[in-house]
Amino acid sequence: MKINSPLEAYKYLPQTNCGECGEPTCMAFASKLIDRSGKTSDCPPLVKEKKYAKKLKELDIILAPEIRQVTIGVGEKAVNIGGDDVLYRHKLTFFNKTKLFFDVSDNLEEAALIERVNKIADFKKFYVGRNLLLDGVAIKATSNDPAKFAAAVKKVAEIGLPMIFCSFNPAVLKAGLEVAKDKNPLLYAANKDNWKEVGELALEYKVPVVVSAFNDLDALKTLAKTFAESGIQDIVLDPGTYPSGKGLKDSFNNFLKIRRAGIMGDTEIAYPIMALPLTAWMAGIADPVSASYWETVIASVFTIRYGDIMILHSLEPYAALPEMHLAETIYTDPRTPVSVDGGMYKVGEPDKDSPVFFTTNFALTYYTVESDISANGIVCWLLAVDTDGIGVEASVAGGQLTSAKVKDAFDKAGFDLNKDTNHHTLIIPGLSARLQGDLEDTLGANVKVGPMDSGRIPGWIEKNWPPKQ
């Protein structure tokens, strides 16, 4: 039975408070196990000493997520899907954000195939301090020719991204597995007609597999149960993704039913769910832009409601970027504000005459300010004050941003406004104007109130910099 209390996990630990896990007490480590920021393998005595072997095994079972976690691919680019414990993010968090795989067809000319796969691999968007990337390639056996499919798989495998093999023909899937048996691809898919042959492939090559039954949850559950009983553990569910009308409504409801049943303890259907937004291209929409738009709409619907992995088609930025941003947003951990490390950062190559700004370490605030400054060619110093990842206005109101905090940030950065600049001046955000007097007293320097919006910094600098002596 799943446990949700640190006290329950504590019962299975050595209770020696040895500190080898990096925590001062076993209770603190138990808390990390419950919120999944720690693993049982982080406790050396629990893993190494034989007398704890039984407790370790039991603890791993009761800590396992309600929805099985499945890994696709190998190495650094391997992706995990599933692994969730809750229906609603505010109750804990969602784990393993929705993975976006984009299709290629095996009947493309070699140059076109390589070009599209490279486009998938190179697609990225800088967002709040990191690059958002696409997750993998779904290779469609459009030709239904084992030799042609194997050739396409071989070319795609060279890029190194995780792969999904898409065919209902077991012979085609086997041909792909023969040339990529060590890449841990996901097989799509086993259905009521080919389940035996595809199941045998999953067992033989030890790869994850999708079981598919369109709009038939009883059949889907039967397939999943049959595969599990045969020894296949890494299963993904495909209940069908209809692109419009009543079919789309049924698909949405099916996703809800599956995930609710899995979270509530029905282990026979507690697996990751696959959505297929690329069915938008089968909805009779003639205009490619409209089809791309509708694909994005479908992807958005199933990102919000439990789609763990998706196969899509359009690589146009206006289609792919909203999908990437939504997945990143929905799967942000609400327990931890997105933040950057506090400290002094350089924008360009500043010197003693360059302006000095500060903002908070809330990532969205910091990168917005940094982007507005650097995009306009302003060379400066930018101090990120640690406010526990809270924005300027809220942290001033809540007491996380004070003159003492700003001085402490300067001290930790080893930066003295009176020694390291010729102008002895700090420019503060307009939303923290109330701190001006306190900052002048605390820092012993000039403090000028900047604009309310960082987008107005260039105009402000033009009028107010350098400061008048």
Quick check: 108 pLDDT over 70?
yes
In this structure, are 74 and 159 located in the same domain?
yes
Domain of 428?
Answer: 343-464
Q: What is the pLDDT of residue 4?
A: 77
310, 219: one domain: yes
pLDDT confidence tier of residue 468, bands split at 50, 70 and 90:
confident
Q: What percent of the chain has pLDDT over 70?
A: 100
- Same domain for 219 and 262? yes
454 is in an annotated binding site: yes
Quote the tokens at residue 172.
């085609």
In this prediction, residue 449 has a pLDDT band, given cuts at 50, 70 and 90, of very high
* Structural domain ending residue among the three candidates 278, 302, 331: 331
Q: What is the pLDDT of residue 193?
A: 96
Say if 469 falls within a structural domain: no
Can you give the pLDDT at residue 459? 96
The residue-averaged pLDDT of 287-295 equals 96
Has residue 291 got a pLDDT over 90? yes
Do both 24 and 110 map to the same domain? no
Same domain assignment for residues 88 and 160:
yes
Q: Which among 307, 331, 355 is the end of a domain?
A: 331
- Check whether residue 370 and residue 271 sit in a common domain: no
Looking at the structure, tell me whether residues 255 and 169 fall in a common domain.
yes
pLDDT digit string, tens, across residues 222-239: 999 999 999 999 999 999
End-to-end C-alpha distance for the chain, whole angstroms: 71
The answer to whether position 358 is within a domain reads yes
pLDDT at 93: 87
User: Is 43 annotated to bind ligand?
Assistant: yes
* Residue 41's CATH number: 1.10.15.40
Q: Are residues 185 and 125 in the same domain?
A: yes
CATH number, residue 399: 3.40.50.11600
- pLDDT score for 91: 85
Instruction: Sheet containing 186-190: give its strands across.
Output: 235-238, 209-212, 186-190, 163-166, 136-140, 99-105, 309-312, 274-275
Same domain, 56 and 71: no
Worst-scoring range by mean pLDDT, 37-41, 158-162, 240-244, 354-358?
37-41
Residue at 370 is within a domain: yes
Average pLDDT for the chain:
95
Residue 21 among known ligand-binding residues: yes
- Per the structure block, which two tokens stand in for 181? 């048996």
- Residue 338 located in a structural domain: no
Same domain for 222 and 348, yes or no, is no
324 and 182 within one domain: yes
pLDDT tens digit sequence for 24-58: 999 999 999 988 888 999 999 999 999 999 999 99
Cα 159 to chain center, whole Å?
21
Residue 268, in any domain of the structure: yes
Is 166 annotated to bind ligand?
no
pLDDT of residue 469: 67
Write out pLDDT tens, residues 412-432: 999 999 999 999 999 999 999
Is residue 336 in some structural domain? no
pLDDT higher than 80, residue 325: yes
Q: Is residue 41 included in any domain, yes or no?
A: yes
Is 365 annotated for ligand binding?
A: yes
Q: How many domains does the chain have?
A: 3
